[in-house]
Amino acid sequence: MNADFTAEELKFQKEVQDFLKAEFPQDIKHKVDNGIRLEKDDFVRWQKILNKRGWVAPNWPEEYGGTGWTPTQKYIFAMEMGLYGAMEPVAFGVKMVAPVIYSYGNEEQKKRFLPDILESNVWWCQGYSEPNAGSDLASLKTTAVREGDHYVVNGTKTWTTLGQYADWIFCLVRTDSTAKKQEGISFLLIDMKTPGIKVSPIYLLDDEPEVNEVHFDNVRVPVENLIGEENQGWTYAKVLLTHERTNIAQVPNSKLKLRKLRDLAARTSDGFGGSLLNNPVFARKLAEVEIQVLALEYAELRTLAAVSVGKAPGPESSILKVVGTEATQFIDELYMEVAAYHSLAHVPAQFTEGFDGERVGQGSLANSANVYFNNRKKSIYGGSNEIQKNIISKAVLGL
């Protein structure tokens, strides 16, 4: 057994660190460090910088623009990015739709879509969930009816994250209503500018329009936008979900947040002349979550090691989703506990770029209740944690 990095791996780590220091834009870092809301342009700009270096899509096959890294290198890269506060490329294109396109799309589709995903010329969003198809995704009802060389799409998709920015949406649509529910679903790419599409914002608990409902009213989609075969979409989507679960443990991000939290707690008064970090109850809670993240990190490393010898990430990756999201949510609770009543002001304007008024509360901690509220989504999205536990019971434990 050995979890040490080799000399080459250490060299690679240094290379990533140097790259981040030199290339991650200072203004974006300022925003990340201070909890200021990131705009579309921030993501696009950063991804173009990453792409210049060829580092947008470590998980893609090399022939389409992947890095050809070993699993350890991918781990190092994700860790250094997370610890530095650099955003991952927006997942909808790079991690969600692209693997389906290069795995099941035809040559023309690959040429048409993949380069623009790498270069972040096209912003993708996801059209999976529907108002009545959440955990039971396969019961989705949005229909696509073939008419000549078009599909006519009708229905409503929901929880479409950042759909307001999107140029294209990838959708699961029902092409056969007579088949068993998983068997009548197809994977369709739709240009958001097509007539008949309406995007309506959904405001979350922090009052931000982060997700949307997307309505399709007789939307005509060329048949060449179908990925793979008609009625095989569910199979493709399941593959996509395993890609979505890579990095879902969010270990680098949690480590960064814990480091900052420790620092904040040391500077926060306990009200009696000491610091909160020296409060044994708080210190214990902090230690518990640090240990949890450490165990999670090694659980993730073991999964990576298995993948590196050719095993597919199995249903065990559900562990990473459950524990990873619960750990980040618990860290959010601790931020709120450090902030105490300083977390309660709701002043979103002071977390936007260019705000120059008087600030309520204390720095980024002032947003900690809103962050806590917003991140309750983590145990719900991507297959709720209850669904992950169903997967473990059925696929791992054979119950």
Partner 1 sequence: MDFSYSDEQQMLQDSVQKFVYSQYEFDTRRKIIKSEQGYSTEYWSLFAELGWLTVPFKEEDGGFGGSAVDLMVVMEEFGKGMVIEPFLATAVISGGLISELGNAEQKQTMLAAIMDGSLQLATAYAEADSRYNLASVGSSAQKQGDTYVINGSKVLVLNGPCADKLLVVARTSGDKFDRSGLSVFVVDAKADGVSSLAYTAVDGHRAAEVHFNNVVVSAQDLLGEEGNALIALETVVDRAALAVSAEAVGAMDCLLKKTVEYAKTRKQFGVAIGTFQALQHRMSEMFIECQLARSIVIMAAMKLDTDASSAEKAKAVAAAKARVGRAMRKVGQESVQLHGGIAVTDELDVGHYFKRVTTIENLFGNTDYQLARFASL
- Separation CA 372–CA 376 (nearest Å): 7
Q: Give strand pairing partners of 151.
A: 146, 221
Q: Is the Cβ of residue 186 or residue 350 nearer to partner 1 in the bound state?
A: 350
Which residue among 6, 34, 106, 132 contacts partner 1 (CB under 8 A)? 132
Which residue among 60, 128, 159, 168 contacts partner 1 (CB under 8 A)? 159
Q: Are 210 and 161 in contact (CB under 8 A)?
A: yes
User: Is 211 in a helix, a strand, or coil?
Assistant: strand
Q: Is 386 in the site for partner 1 (CB under 8 A)?
A: yes
DSSP conformation letters of 324-343? HHHHHHHHHHHHHHHHGGGG
Q: Is the Cβ of residue 204 or residue 306 nearer to partner 1 in the bound state?
A: 204
Q: Is 355 in the site for partner 1 (CB under 8 A)?
A: no
- Separation CA 382–CA 70 (nearest Å): 26
**Residues in 38-67 at the binding interface with partner 1, rule: CB under 8 A:** none
Q: Is 70 in the site for partner 1 (CB under 8 A)?
A: no
- Separation CA 367–CA 54 (nearest Å): 35
Question: Least separation, in Å, of the C-beta of 376 and partner 1?
Answer: 5
Comparing C-alpha atoms, which of 86, 96, 93, 90 is closest to residue 115? 93
- Separation CA 211–CA 365 (nearest Å): 24
Question: Least separation, in Å, of the C-beta of 346 and partner 1?
Answer: 5
Token representation of residue 364:
């980024």
Which residue among 260, 374, 382, 392 contacts partner 1 (CB under 8 A)? 374
- Separation CA 197–CA 214 (nearest Å): 7
Q: Is the Cβ of residue 25 or residue 131 nearer to partner 1 in the bound state?
A: 131
# residues near partner 1 by CB under 8 A: 49
| Distance, C-alpha 310 to centroid of its chain | 25
Q: Is 391 in the site for partner 1 (CB under 8 A)?
A: no
Comparing C-alpha atoms, which of 113, 101, 117 is closest to residue 48? 117
Residue 108 appears among annotated catalytic residues: no
- Separation CA 124–CA 153 (nearest Å): 18
Q: Is 347 in the site for partner 1 (CB under 8 A)?
A: yes
Q: Is 362 in the site for partner 1 (CB under 8 A)?
A: yes
**Residues in 266-295 at the binding interface with partner 1, rule: CB under 8 A:** 269-273, 279, 281-282
The phi and psi torsions of 279 (rounded to 5 degrees) equal -75, 120
Q: Is the Cβ of residue 281 or residue 312 nearer to partner 1 in the bound state?
A: 281
Site string for partner 1, 221-250 (x = CB under 8 A): ------------------------------
Q: Is 127 in the site for partner 1 (CB under 8 A)?
A: no
Site string for partner 1, 312-341 (x = CB under 8 A): ---------------------x--xx--xx
Beta strands in 28-141 (DSSP E): 124-127
- Separation CA 77–CA 110 (nearest Å): 26
Note the residues at the interface with partner 1 (CB under 8 A): 129, 132, 134-136, 139, 158-159, 202-205, 207, 269-273, 279, 281-282, 333, 336-337, 340-347, 358, 360, 362, 369-370, 372-374, 376-377, 379-381, 384-386, 389
The residues that are catalytic are 244
